[in-house]
A and B are shown apart, each in its own frame.
Chain A
Amino acid sequence: MASNEEILAGLAEIVNEETGLAPEAVELDKSFTDDLDIDSISMMTIVVNAEEKFGVRIPDEEVKNLKTVGDAVDYIAKAQA
């Protein structure tokens, strides 16, 4: 089970691979759409890669609730618990 810091670092790596954004730009309070300019299709790629990396399941209907990076970290941490 990964700590929140580890989840954030892993997520930043996935976001970097999909969008080219610097990993340090991926901060907890950043909104995926408004701050990081990630569209709904890229978000799905990030979600699927996060599922694989962290061994969790994030259903389609949950994805729209993941507004910020922090939301995603919390969801993954809970799903792993």
Chain B
Amino acid sequence: MLQSPLREHSRVLGLGAYRPDVIVTNDDVCQWIESSDEWIRQRTGIVTRHRAKADVSVVDMAEGAAREALQQAGIEGSQLGAVIVSTVTHPYATPSAATALADRLGATPAPAFDISAACAGYCYGIAQGDALVRAGSADYVLVVGAEKLSDFIDNTERSMSFLLGDGAGAVVIGPSDIPGISPSVWGSDGSKWDVIGMTHSMLEVRDLSLAAESVGSLTSAAKDREDDNAKLWPTLRQDGPSVFRWAVWEMAKTAKRALEAAGVQPEDLAAFVPHQANMRIIDEMVKQLKLPENVAVARDIADAGNTSAASVPLAMHRLLQENPQLSGGLALQIGFGAGLVFGAQVIVLP
């Protein structure tokens, strides 16, 4: 019996982004919740978020980002040995977004699958892409974070919806002569399963819609269930303060462990690219990590909002567009979110 020959190193060869073109301002948000532009900026750092039109899907956005990443990597879709899409907003439990994307890119019959790791999904994908390339299972792996969160929000709720945007970011991982992706520090904590997530499951959607059909209206069906606020469509919610505490203090420890695993000191970094959840989380993490001032910190959240799995590659893309001299430098990236899940690596910037 044979096993794949191992490769020593892998790295990110190309990066791409897709930003949908509907811009939602804080003033727009204030039509739905009682707030103000100033309050939202102060508390979250968000000025606008990009959202996709009804006819733009998760796969469409993933394709836009993937084509740019392939071009930068200098490879064709047919050379991909695997396609991984991280998303929690592809609206089909099956089939996956990844198979449709692979086919559009000319990658068929490459293995293709989605992963559900919310805001850590991109870093989870990097862990898998790196492992597949180094294990000799694939020459090139496409990793995409793509989200259309606007399909799963309730504009009138205050815990989360106003933070969220849509978009996609993609990278191609391939063989390298030098170390390009550090060991992944990744994990989960299911004891905090309920601090971020959907209001209810698809089974409840089924039961509530059946009940509404038989009693004539959703309102009466909700009343029968003693739930005055029942809404048919599940949307995202979070316990903000608990998430904030975990995101800053636990994730700062995770980020430090990633630096240790990489054998890298904070002063060796060119950039820090954390998940874009809230500017206050980013600021507090920078403080906890004691990053020197010359480390560029990605703050894409101001324009893009929180785009879950897409946020790290989108933020990295902007950072490199605005600071092309960072290319080739080391970036610490970290994703964290619903599950709870987390993942972090140091990578060589493409």
Contacts and interface: CB of A to CB of B under 8 A. Distances in A.
Contacts of A41: 43, 240-241, 244, 278, 280
A44 B244 CA distance: 8
Contacts of A43: 241
Nearest to A52: B249
Interface string B218-257: 0000000000000000000001111011001100000000
A37 B43 CA distance: 13
B284 interface: yes
Interface of chain B: mostly helix, strand, loop or mixed: helix
B43 A45 contact: no
A63 B246 CA distance: 14
A40 B245 contact: no
B240 A48 contact: no
Contact of A48 (B239, B249, B278): B249
Count class of interface residues, chain B: 10 to 19
Interface string A35-49: 000011101110110
Contacts of A5: none
Contacts of A63: 241
Given A39-B43, A41-B280, A45-B284, A60 B249 contact: no
Interface string B275-300: 00010100010000000000000000
A60 B242 contact: yes
B74 to A, nearest CB: 44
Interface string A20-45: 00000000000000000001110111
B289 to A, nearest CB: 15
B245 A48 contact: yes
B43 A60 contact: no
A40 B278 CA distance: 14
Most buried by A among B43, B241, B244, B280: B241
A55 to B, nearest CB: 16
Contacts of A44: 241, 244-245
Interface in A49-81: 60, 63
Most buried by B among A40, A41, A48, A60: A41
A53 to B, nearest CB: 14
Contacts of A40: 240-241, 244
A81 to B, nearest CB: 24
A59 to B, nearest CB: 10
A39 B42 CA distance: 11
A44 B242 CA distance: 8
B245 A60 contact: yes
25 contacts: A39-B43, A40-B240, A40-B241, A40-B244, A41-B43, A41-B240, A41-B241, A41-B244, A41-B278, A41-B280, A43-B241, A44-B241, A44-B244, A44-B245, A45-B248, A45-B284, A47-B245, A48-B245, A48-B248, A48-B249, A60-B239, A60-B241, A60-B242, A60-B245, A63-B241
Interface of B: 43, 239-242, 244-245, 248-249, 278, 280, 284
Given A39-B43, A48-B245, A60-B241, 16 more contacts: A40-B241, A41-B43, A41-B241, A41-B244, A41-B278, A41-B280, A43-B241, A44-B241, A44-B244, A44-B245, A45-B248, A45-B284, A48-B248, A60-B239, A60-B242, A60-B245
User: 7 closest pairs, A vs B, by CB?
Assistant: A40-B241, A44-B245, A60-B242, A44-B241, A41-B244, A44-B244, A48-B249
